[in-house]
Amino acid sequence: MPGPSRDAIGWKRDTEWRNTVWPGLIGASHPDRTRLRTDSYFDMKPALKTSSSGENTKVFDFTPRDFARVRSLIYKQAGIALAESKQEMVYSRLARRLRAKGLNSFGEYLDNLESGRDSEEWEAFTNALTTNLTSFFREAHHFPILAEHMRAMTGPLSVWCSASSTGEEPYSIAMTLCEAFGTLAPPVSIVATDIDTNVLETAANGVYPAERIDKMPQERVKRFFQKGKGERAGLVRVRPELRQLITFKPLNLLAGSWPLSGPFDAIFCRNVMIYFDKPTQSRILTRFVPLLKPEGLLFAGHSENFMYASDAFKLRGKTVYELDPRHGGARKPA
């Protein structure tokens, strides 16, 4: 399939890069979709009530046994190993679910989950307990490495972003590849997945508070974002061309099968393994092996070291891994 030249071809038409002003409404049918996950935390109804003595007390009892049950359930469901110190956080996030369900006790809520009486609640339970912190061009040193790597690769190119949260990471990948190939339609497909269906919705929508791109160079902002006006003032939206490069879909890294077709030229698995214990990390890394091309790269988060969890990968640079030759890697030891 003919595609743009792999060389840096420069920007073709200046008009393509106008900072188009995004008109007021994006669709009256789903105005809520522009709400970000982080906003919803601030909107939360209080999980505490103030007693006559002025102290904050919990609306629901949350016993150590309840907490232990939550920890066990989210570990089995998502691999997330919640620390002992997270009891308050878990209370405030799940108290909201109890209110939504009209329940009076954590025991009843957890019984319903475990018994399968409310199987649909698993999704909301999981969404409530994930941590979705992310930002555009987080761990910025990865992106020039990605650009150089992808320009050197041949054939249909693809990237998997395996814990994409609210989308800043896959859009940063997409922007990098547009710049690397000098076009808004680089010959690359990006699959962005996450277990959390709320963040995926935000990601697919591609709308963010303008302050999220405060630190981004103006040239890049103009190239890739549209500014909201009217009731969307203060928001920015990624250009539709960028969104078209990415397929968003739910994927639990713990699930028995992953709805993906690799192998990929690069896999991003950043700042999610920290929530898993070492056996879980090892299992996931083993499953990455056939999904990466022999020359492919695996990008990890700043505090993640995959060498402890798997011998299938070796470090190529700061938090960037490649397949060890004994596991199909193309690069022979020097």
Ligand X SMILES: C[S@@+](CC[C@H](N)C(=O)[O-])C[C@H]1O[C@@H](n2cnc3c(N)ncnc32)[C@H](O)[C@@H]1O
**Residues recognised as catalytic:** 93, 194
Only segment of 3-11, 43-51, 96-104, 129-137 that touches ligand X (CB under 6 A):
129-137
Residue of 129, 67, 76, 71 whose CA lies nearest to 280: 76
Does residue 272 interact with ligand X by CB under 6 A?
yes
Does residue 252 interact with ligand X by CB under 6 A?
yes
The DSSP bridge pattern shows strands 264-269 and 292-300 to be parallel
Pick 301 or 329: Cβ nearer ligand X? 301
Dump the DSSP string for 50-95. Answer: E-TTS-EEESS---HHHHHHHHHHHHHHH-----GGGHHHHHHHHH
Does residue 254 interact with ligand X by CB under 6 A?
yes
Closest approach of Cβ 76 to ligand X, in Å? Answer: 11
Distance separating alpha carbons of residues 19 and 219, to the nearest angstrom? 9
Does residue 130 interact with ligand X by CB under 6 A?
yes
Does residue 212 interact with ligand X by CB under 6 A?
no
Pick 26 or 161: Cβ nearer ligand X? 161
What are the structure tokens assigned to 265, written together?
């030229």
Closest approach of Cβ 23 to ligand X, in Å? Answer: 30
Does residue 101 interact with ligand X by CB under 6 A?
no
Phi, psi of 320 (to 5 degrees): -120, 130
Does residue 275 interact with ligand X by CB under 6 A?
yes
Closest approach of Cβ 40 to ligand X, in Å? Answer: 14
Does residue 134 interact with ligand X by CB under 6 A?
yes
Phi-psi region of 59 (alpha: psi -120 to 50; beta: other; left: phi over 0): alpha
Distance separating alpha carbons of residues 63 and 168, to the nearest angstrom? 37
The binder of ligand X chosen from 133, 215, 230, 261 (CB under 6 A): 133
Does residue 163 interact with ligand X by CB under 6 A?
yes
Does residue 304 interact with ligand X by CB under 6 A?
no
For the chain, what is the largest distance between any 2 Cα atoms, rounded to a whole number of angstroms?
Answer: 73
Is the distance from CB of 163 to CB of 253 less than 8 angstroms? yes
Pick 166 or 310: Cβ nearer ligand X? 166
* Cβ count within 10 A of residue 47: 19
Is the distance from CB of 306 to CB of 313 less than 8 angstroms? yes
Within 182-201, which residues bind ligand X (CB under 6 A)?
194-196, 199
Q: Which amino acid is at 325?
A: P
Is the distance from CB of 21 to CB of 239 less than 8 angstroms? no
Within 17-56, which residues bind ligand X (CB under 6 A)?
none
Q: HSE, CB side, 13 Å, CA atoms: give it for residue 311.
A: 1
What are the structure tokens assigned to 4, written together?
């743009």
Closest approach of Cβ 134 to ligand X, in Å? Answer: 3
Does residue 78 interact with ligand X by CB under 6 A?
yes
CA distances from 206 to 9, 26, 38, 265, 292 (A): 27, 11, 14, 24, 27
Pick 184 or 269: Cβ nearer ligand X? 269
What are the structure tokens assigned to 320, written together?
């960037």
Binding residues with ligand X: total (CB under 6 A)? 25
The binder of ligand X chosen from 169, 179, 304, 322 (CB under 6 A): 169
Closest approach of Cβ 22 to ligand X, in Å? Answer: 25
Tell me the sheet residues that pair with 194.
250
Closest approach of Cβ 16 to ligand X, in Å? Answer: 29
Closest approach of Cβ 299 to ligand X, in Å? Answer: 9
Pick 178 or 203: Cβ nearer ligand X? 203
Could you list the residues that contact ligand X (CB under 6 A)? 78-80, 130-134, 138, 163, 165, 169, 194-196, 199, 251-254, 270-272, 275, 301
